[in-house]
Structure 1
Amino acid sequence: MSKLSNLQLTERIFHRINAESQGLKKISSHELSIAAEKLMIDAKDTIRCFSLAAGDVNKCDHKIAK
């Protein structure tokens, strides 16, 4: 899977769900689960990062600090 931002992944998921609901395209459950798993990992990392940083993003060693 190519590198996509969380926003791009979320948009792709919603577009596919919308397309499937209109009968236009079937969602690949494997692709959907990979995207959802990546979003969950990133969300957990974000929470951990901000918890550790306690307001100082310079202390965060994760890519979110960029």
Structure 2
Amino acid sequence: MEWLWPALAIVCIIEGLGPLLIPNRWRLYLLEISQQPTNNLRQIGGILVIIGAVSLFFLTR
């Protein structure tokens, strides 16, 4: 469980790069995403969760 906080810190750093470096493009990106159908967002979220889980599995073996 000692890996959880460093992992969350890395996620915060990566997620913060967009608004920090390119705020106008980030805003347009969020507007475009907010107009997508709910099913598309769920599919994208599901794919990202699966990719993350598989990556974590292989990286921690």
TM-score, normalised relative to structure 1:
0.43
Rg bigger for which structure?
Answer: 1
More helix by share: 2
